[in-house]
Structure formats: C-alpha cells, structure tokens
Amino acid sequence: MNNLFDEEVSIQFTTTATVTPRTVIAAEVFGLGIDDEKEFKIYDKTRVTVEKGDVVFITGDSGGGKSTLLRRIKESMQERGIKLDVLNDLTFDPEEVILEGVGKDFSEALGILTRSGLGDAFLMLRKYKQLSDGQKYRYAIAKMLATGSDVWFIDEFCATLDREMAKVIAFSIQKTARMLGKTIIVATTHGDIEHDLNPSLTIKKNFGEGVSVTRNKWEKRPCSLMSDITFRIATFEEYQKSGLPTFHYKSARRPAGLINIYAAEWKGVLVGAMLLKYPPLELQERNFITQKYYTKNYKELNKDVETISRVVINPKFQGIGLAPKLMNTYFNSEHSRKIVEAVSVMAQYHPFNERAGMKRIEIDRKKETKHYQDMIELLEKWEFDMSLLRSGRYNFSCLEKLTNGQLVELVPMIMKEYRKVVALYSTAKSSSRQSAEKEIAEAEKNPSESLRFISDALKRVKKPSMAYIVWFNPRFEHDYTKAAATI
C-alpha cells in the first residue's frame, strides 16, 4: 500500500445569517438577503495523493482551509486503520524527566532524543516543565518517534517558534522521518520553512478555491542556516563569552593541556566548538594501531597526536549535522595534527564522530587486575549498586553508612586504583599529580574525614565502557602502523 491517501477532495459548507436587529441592518447596508443561503467552496475536486514516506507541506493564507484538509486526510487514514500520531493532541506530565519519557532503555532513549535535537546531557536530565518552548516542541517530536506510528500529523507547525528554530526543527524532522521511512503531514502559514522541510508534496491553499498541488523531486540538501556558518580557530575567552560552556556537562574551566578551539560561527556568534588537548600518555587502542610507537616516543606523541576533549553545539543548532561538519572541516584544515583521537562514552550510542570521518577501533582489552576485581567484590558485598558508581553523590551516601573499620579496609583499595587514573592523565612532576597525591595520602590517613574526595575518586575509578575513535590525517605518512591503512 504505497498510497496512504488518494482522493478527489471536495469540501464546502453553507451558511445563513442569524436574524438579529444588527444582522438585518447589515444586510440592508450591503444589499444582502438576510434569508439567503450562501455556499462556500474550500476545495472543489482537488486531487490529493499522499504516498508512503512523503513529506507533505500544506501552506497558504490563514483561514484558507489548511487545517480542514489536514483533518480530512487524518480521518481517512484513521478509517483505514493506519497507525498515526497528531502532535497537537499529545499531553505531557510537567514532572517527567525527559530521559525517562521515551524508549525502552537508555540506548533507545538517547537515540530518540538525539534525533529530536535533545542530545545534550543536561537537557536529557531536565523535567518537561524546565524546557523552553523550542525544547518542548522537540520533545513532542521525540514522543511521536517513540510511539512507532507510521504517519505524523502536525497542525500550525512551528508557528510559535522563532524562525531560526523553526527552520532547524523542519530540517531535523524531515531528515529523521526519511531515515525511518515515516510520513509527515504538516500545515502552517509560514512559508519560510519550505526549503528546510524539503517537501515531496506541496499544497498551497489560499482564500476561496485557489489551490495548487505540486509533487517535488526530492534532493538531499543541508539546512539553510548552514550557508551562514563559517569555521575558525577561536580563543578560550571567546568560547567562554559565547555561552557554549553552559551547554556541556563538563566543567566550564579551561581543560588541562588545551591546544586548540575550533569554532562554528553564525552571524558573528559562536554556535559550536570543538576543544582539543594533549593526549593521555597511554591508551591500549592507540598502542595497538601504532604498534606501541608512542610508548617509546613521548615527545613525538605530543607533537603528532591531539585528543578531542569535547564538542559543544548550541541547542538551537542541534539536529542539522553541525557537529560532524565542524569536526570534518577541522580535520581538513591546516590546523589538524597527524592523529586526532577521542575516548568517549557517548560514542557508543551516538555516531557523530564517525559521521565526521573518524573510525572506531575495537580491540580485546586487558582483563581487569585481581586487585580491581577484589575492590568491586567488596563494594558488591556491602551493597553498592555498580550501575550507580559513576555518581559521586551516590557513592557518598553509601560510604557514610560504612563503619570506620570498613572504610579502613576499602579506602586503600580505591586509592590504589585512583593513583592509576591520575598517572594516566598527568606526569610525575606535574602540580596536578602532586596535589592529588596529597589528597590521596590524607584520605588513607583519615578516611572518615575525606568522604567527599573518596566518593569522587571512586566515581573515576569505576571504569565506564568507552569507545576509542581515531582519524588519520592523509597529509602525513603513517609508516609505523599497518593498521592505519586498513581501518
């Protein structure tokens, strides 16, 4: 069933005036018959065919009959048992945390929210009532995605949003619908979103019987806002003033070992940034693909390799492919080094790094040491939830319930593992290493008075499942590795 709707649409209504002293006077003034019946034709034998996978754009004058046609198509599909959703009919619990509101599990929820432009960590943890109007609109789209319906109906599409946000959402929803094989039918008086909605069927309805139905040849194209975005090196001060740090879950402070900030600029405003820093000294995946070249050449490591610390996109511009574009533009610029790498939890769920041209490396990692396994077994024995150890707040709530004897047994194990983490990201003589060693010594000496520090250390010791992603710069030779040519 390729045609979801295929009808010759005729819609009209008749009206007579209610008789009152005022309407009688009005009829006399304008030469009308107060008792005359008037027929209004909205659509007169207009052929409308909606195919599976169509993006349908119904536009035109306010009051011209856009919503009337939308309802006719919807009612016809409902009669045929087609599974559909109407965004305008959705209701929301103000207290609902949006990460909990869609999907069967975390992975599915993240995918749905990311496709809807809500992939920012802080946004996902907010309640519905804490979202802006634009974010609430995106969440409504996420809800439709989660239902698995085949057709999405939206009346007054993006009518209450600023026009840049409307264009971003129009672009994002049609891209998602086409990727998933869904059909969208929207009605709005705003014609400025047509480029970004990129409809396969356009219905323009004005007052009276004036209507045109046009089937368009679809071609993939970028969001219209991309034409005004440029890319350049930015300073950390520019990054801070742009407000972008508030949109990322990491600290707004300057990352240790910062090398470069590559930014996306829209009409003089930074709307995206990628922060790059010096690489950690040891990574199993890097050792594998470089045949341990840099384990013997640490000076070369800092010259050849840079690590992506974070990629931040203004929420208004999420969903248009800006993150991959920003990264790919940097890779192909004169600023990129021999190897650009990233170690990320998010990369397991969201492939924007790979869309930018990076490659994910999978290897058989070394098994955890017996000491680490012993620490985990002890935590489990004392009823720590392993899935929550990445929360310092949760760790503190558990640690403060332990006896002093239990702390004396557990804390040295945590501190031994934490020393490995500190060593991975700092040199022996660095101030950060020396500061950490002082705090570690104090925690081992007086654990009950250092619970906050121990809680945060345990958070970092609990190893999340990370993905390693790498890009090899084709401007350089990579003689030390055969893997570089094959991944």
Alpha carbons within 13 angstroms on the beta-carbon side of residue 44 total: 7
Q: Which range in 285-299, 365-379, 393-407 is most confidently predicted, on average pLDDT?
A: 393-407
Using CB atoms within 10 Å of the CB of residue 314, give its burial: 0 to 12 exposed, 13 to 18 middle, 19+ buried.
buried
- pLDDT tens digits along 413-427: 999 999 988 887 666
Under DSSP, the state recorded for 193 is G
Which pLDDT band holds residue 256 (cuts at 50, 70, 90)?
confident
Would you state the structure tokens that stand for residue 82, as one six-digit string? 């087609």
For residues 24 and 234, the model is more confident at 234
For range 347-361, the mean pLDDT: 83
State yes or no: pLDDT of 484 exceeds 50.
no
Whole-number pLDDT of residue 289:
87
Whole-number pLDDT of residue 364:
59
Q: How far is CA 170 from CA 147, 192, 230, in A?
A: 20, 10, 22
Long-range contacts of 236-244 (CB under 8 A, 24+ apart): 236/261, 238/263, 238/270, 239/263, 239/270, 239/273, 239/275, 242/269, 242/270, 242/271, 242/273, 243/314, 244/270, 244/271, 244/272, 244/273, 244/312, 244/314
Which pLDDT band holds residue 363 (cuts at 50, 70, 90)?
low
For residues 272 and 484, the model is more confident at 272
Q: How far is CA 89 from CA 58, 150, 186, in A?
A: 19, 16, 14
Residue 258 near residue 275, CB atoms below 8 Å = yes
For range 433-455, the mean pLDDT: 92
Residue 361 near residue 285, CB atoms below 8 Å = yes
Percent of the chain residues topping a pLDDT of 70: 91
Whole-number pLDDT of residue 483:
47
Q: Which range in 120-124, 272-276, 299-303 is most confidently predicted, on average pLDDT?
A: 272-276
Would you state the structure tokens that stand for residue 188, as one six-digit string? 């709005």
Whole-number pLDDT of residue 438:
92
Q: Over the chain, what is the mean pLDDT?
A: 88
For residues 80 and 34, the model is more confident at 80
Which pLDDT band holds residue 478 (cuts at 50, 70, 90)?
low
State yes or no: pLDDT of 82 exceeds 70.
yes
Whole-number pLDDT of residue 254:
87
Percent of the chain residues topping a pLDDT of 90: 60
C-alpha 358/C-alpha 351 separation (Å) is 9
Structure pTM?
0.76
Say which CATH architecture domain 50-224 belongs to. 3-Layer(aba) Sandwich (3.40)
Which pLDDT band holds residue 50 (cuts at 50, 70, 90)?
very high
- Listed in sequence order, the residues at least 6 apart from 380 whose beta carbon sits closer than 8 Å to its beta carbon are 386
State yes or no: pLDDT of 487 exceeds 80.
no
Using CB atoms within 10 Å of the CB of residue 37, give its burial: 0 to 12 exposed, 13 to 18 middle, 19+ buried.
exposed
Q: How far is CA 359 from CA 311, 338, 354, in A?
A: 17, 15, 6
Whole-number pLDDT of residue 298:
82
Residue 161 near residue 134, CB atoms below 8 Å = yes
For range 157-170, the mean pLDDT: 93
For range 391-400, the mean pLDDT: 92
For range 448-474, the mean pLDDT: 87
State yes or no: pLDDT of 251 exceeds 70.
no
Residue 44 near residue 10, CB atoms below 8 Å = yes
Torsion over CA: 378, 380, 385, 389 (sign): positive
Which range, of 92-96, 261-265, 296-300, 344-348, averages the lowest pLDDT? 344-348
Task: Show me where the domains of the chain are located.
Answer: 50-224, 225-365+467-486, 370-461
Which pLDDT band holds residue 192 (cuts at 50, 70, 90)?
very high
Q: How far is CA 363 from CA 287, 425, 486, in A?
A: 11, 21, 14
Which pLDDT band holds residue 164 (cuts at 50, 70, 90)?
very high
Whole-number pLDDT of residue 4:
95
Would you state the structure tokens that stand for residue 217, as one six-digit string? 């040849």
Say which CATH architecture domain 225-365+467-486 belongs to. 3-Layer(aba) Sandwich (3.40)
Whole-number pLDDT of residue 337:
95
Residue type for position 42: I
- pLDDT tens digits along 216-242: 998 999 999 999 999 999 999 999 999
Question: In 3D, which of 205, 180, 167 has the Cα closest to residue 70?
Answer: 205
State yes or no: pLDDT of 34 exceeds 80.
no
Q: Which range in 81-95, 237-251, 278-292 is most confidently predicted, on average pLDDT?
A: 81-95
For range 394-413, the mean pLDDT: 94
